[in-house]
Chains A and B, each alone.
Chain A
Amino acid sequence: MNARAAKAGRAAVFPLLLLGGWDGLARAHALPDSLSRPTTIVAALVSTVADGSLWAMAGQTLIAAAAGWALGSLLAIGAGIAIGTTPVVRSIVGPALELMRSVPPVALIPVALLALGLGPKLEILMVAFAVFWPVVLFTAAGVRSIDARLLEVARALRFGAAQRILHFVLPAAAATIAVGLRVAAGLALVVAVTTEIIANPSGLGYGIAFASTALRPDLMFADLFVLALLGFGVNALLVAAQRRLFAWARR
């Protein structure tokens, strides 16, 4: 416990120094006013937490990101299994997939805007689209990495295709898929916030854009801080889930 406290203490040193330096420089007017000051930001944080607006925005972003992440991942896992298990599918869709993957998802926001208009649907679909690529690649790679011997065991036991996927392929690929899902979660937040800034007036992204136009840097930084916490929290949650699910992989 003491070791853990010491570790947390050491981890806090650098951010505190940074914040202290920032506050000092701002007070000495060595920084532009548009950067605000940590103490003012904390005040903005406290007031937006108190009036509930910060929670509401964080909730909107989190829900849209999670919905898009779940939708995109589900489709991607299905597609990844098909690609990973079937050479024909792989040779047909593989090259197209590589091409699609190199389109930055954010560049498609204007296109999607034309098709879907402003709103949460656009945001969720943008996230789903962005998330699809890493998950499909990790899933296909995980599926292909299964030991040929295990597939032979499945054959020798005369399992059908569905059972083979359920009992052999998916569990064998699960650890790799989980890495893809974690990469995707980070990406989901990025794309959700970007879409909110550009094309969906809700959530933390809109909060940041609004604070910027309203010349409220303190609010802007408060939102950014919450966004960082959100990303950190989501990742920590997924790491913990991964640990629990793949306990068998550790000796």
Chain B
Amino acid sequence: MSAIELIEADPVVVARRHEIVIALTERVGPGCIISDEDGRRAFDTDAFTAYRRMPLAVVLPTTTKEVSDVLAYCYEHGVRVIPRGAGTSLCGGALPAEDAIVIGVSKMNQVLDINFDNRTARVQTGITNLGISNAVAGDRYFYAPDPSSQLACTLAGNLGMNSGGAHCLKYGVTSNNVLGMKIVLMTGEVIDIGGDELDAPGYDFLGMIIGAEGQFGIATEATVRILKMAEGARPVLLGFDSAEQAGACVSAIIAAGIIPVAIEYMDRPAIKVCEAYAKAGYPLDVEAMLIVEVEGAEQEIEHLLKRITDIVDTFNPKVVRTSQSDEESAAIWKGRKAAFGAVGQIADYLCMDGTIPLSTLPRVLAGISSICKSYGFQVANIFHAGDGNLHPLILYNANEPGELERAEACGADILKLCVEVGGCLTGEHGVGIEKRDLMTVQFSAVDLAQQMRLKDVFDPSWLLNPGKVFPLDLSQAA
């Protein structure tokens, strides 16, 4: 029995499964619907794998019209809907329910238009994050937000979660890089917002919908900004004896007016695991490591790195190693981007995602360490240091009864600490079911009511992605 309560299925809807499947098949054709048990099982969870629910059926539409028809049917018949991209959510954001259908956009993965003059690409949202960059890489453009899951995760999921990545210190997160969207409301109504222009008229609908965790509508197309690649990029690896030194060094770099493209932090346990996995040449005898990356032409890079290493030198670094080749740079990033996977090979883990003010880093790391110790867990910390987004990975054993619940309690204590020091529960992964019940730690009842009113506007019957984001007692009363 796990700690997070899941919504109860409506037996009346469940009993109508057969009839619902037939109706949906009429709308999308048999090739786009999965109703057998084995097929559905592949969709019964996301990357928050401790929680599973078999959906009534899975629909994989190929057009916006099909999405609209399916939603219109579900609206009319009171069937809940779970929007899904690739299912890599770490917070149970795409977790199904037994009385719900999953609508996955993975078959809608085409690039519709690329406009280099306007620096935009219009794509179907089922395209993978990396797929967008790959489509324009030949002309040396890229799509900036780069979640570590970018090989698998879809733009749809990125829009749902307002995802970030290691390079968003400079380039911003999803919402800063999207100019237009086609979205289907629960009623089946199709709404177009924005386009190639740099702002959309009226209230900021893009800003509202991006990050609403699939609770406002299903995004089927989007216009994203693409940017010209820098002439080159190079990371430098820095090793320190303490978190204090590493944190102070980051502050000093920023205070000097330098905003690198990325500043990534790993603590000793994280370094060890990632090095074993990626053989990136990470230093194993330091308490904290930073990957600082800068961009530009060759001489610009050298100039900037010199400035940075001059600052770094005043903080007693144990290691300062500038990448000497593209291969080395790739290896350095491979280790970082594979961090979750690498940790996953040695243990089960829960990945936290709080954000903290940078100045509180030493205090928070000490707090995390003592919290984890009190629960008897090991922890590895990975941190987007430039913007304060912290990923403590709590290592536990899922086969040990009760460990998951304790790991969750441990994680909750860590997130409460993040809020206490002025930060927040989640920087990029989203609330989902995982942090749902902690929302009251960060928000007052009035704050939450104001958010829920927006949900009422977009989906008055609360059929879209139910049981997420808000504590159940609140959302079920709505």
Real binding pair: no
List the interface of chain B (C-beta within 8 A of A): none
